[in-house]
Amino acid sequence: MRIVSIGEVLWDVIGNREYLGGAPFNFAAHASRLGHTVSFVSAVGRDERGGRVLARMAEMGLSTRYVRALETHPTGVVTVELDAAGQPQFTIHHPAAYDAPGLADRDVAGLLSPKPDWIYFGTLFQMSLQARELTYRLIASPGGARLFYDVNLRKDSYQAPLVRELMARAQVVKLNEDEARVIDQMLGPAWRSLGDFCRGYAHEFGWESVCVTRGEKGCVLLVGEEYVEASGYAVRAQDTVGAGDAFAAAFVHGLGMRWSPAAIADFANRLAALVASRPGAIPPWTLEEVRALSKQSPPSPAG
């Protein structure tokens, strides 16, 4: 499939180490590894960290054509603190280059011809008016791309009207259990179960599919009228940064391959668990490792 991912690229600073990240970038990297042609749209600073972003993209086989390099803004940075369970707490530093993306008309045309099968977007990036205008320009273009909204709420980086607007523009939505509770509080009504949440918002916004992730407990998934609850894979978590983004890539992959909802959910749970068992948001993994993952025996960390 041809996929456009638009959003932040940044460095996750965990202790004294830096890992390349940003949910839309992580998604792009994992989707590319799954065999898809991915165009990533963002911006970096003309600084040392920005140079490392572009170099790593080239190593990964991701085009840098749509990543703007700015003198006026530094490359994005997020400080990440992990709790005892490996769950991340994020401090997002501004200004950041990804707040000021831009594309020439010829680049917009290049992104949209031939038409992409999917356009991915999240919430943090849309807090910048300039970034939001670029996103809306792309997702409003004719051509029939399916619009995937990965909610990814970050502290002090979302607003209820914006989240509602993004939900209304999407055909497919992914979020986690905590985000479902926040959305219930912001938008209401409070649904009695995750199944009711999925069906209620899918009906309200016309979604074709919605998935709520639950960490090692797995996920719930609604595709059309078919609802499934899939158990997860217990692993020795190194950190969970990027696991949800890997899940999103696997989710899109399964939908594009027209797998059954149960098969999509299991594959996405497997890939997310494997990524959580290794340090960094984009650790090395292979499809063979994903398929071999057992619910009884956690995988060994990558070196």
Domain membership of residue 298 (yes or no) is no
* Residue length of the chain: 303
Alpha carbon distances (Å) from 246 to 22, 96, 150, 158, 290: 12, 24, 11, 22, 11
Domain membership of residue 67 (yes or no) is yes
Residues 271 and 239 sit within 8 Å (Cβ to Cβ): no
Domain membership of residue 297 (yes or no) is no
| pLDDT tens for the 303 residues of the chain, in order | 999 999 999 998 888 889 899 999 999 999 999 999 999 999 999 999 999 999 999 999 999 999 999 999 999 999 988 777 767 788 899 999 999 999 999 999 999 988 999 999 999 999 999 999 999 999 998 778 999 999 999 988 999 999 999 999 999 999 999 999 999 999 987 788 999 999 999 999 999 999 999 988 999 999 999 999 999 998 887 778 889 999 999 999 999 999 999 999 999 999 999 999 998 889 999 999 999 987 655 544 554
**CA 187/CA 83 separation, integer angstroms:** 29
Give the pLDDT score at 234. 85
Q: What is the dihedral of CA 251, 108, 131, 147, to 10 degrees?
A: -30
**CA 277/CA 287 separation, integer angstroms:** 15
Give the pLDDT score at 303. 41
Helix (H), strand (E) at residue 273: helix 261-276
Q: Is the peptide bond before 114 cis (omega within 30 degrees of 0)?
A: yes
Domain membership of residue 302 (yes or no) is no
Domain membership of residue 299 (yes or no) is no
Domain membership of residue 274 (yes or no) is yes
Give the pLDDT score at 301. 52
Nearest to 76 by CA among 132, 124, 143, 129: 124
**CA 279/CA 294 separation, integer angstroms:** 20
Give SS3 for 155: coil
Domain membership of residue 301 (yes or no) is no
Q: Identify the domain containing residue 97 by its residue range.
A: 2-292
The total of structural domains in the chain comes to 1
Domain membership of residue 303 (yes or no) is no
**CA 134/CA 112 separation, integer angstroms:** 13
Instruction: Assign residue 98 the CATH number of its domain.
Output: 3.40.1190.20
pTM of the entire predicted model: 0.93
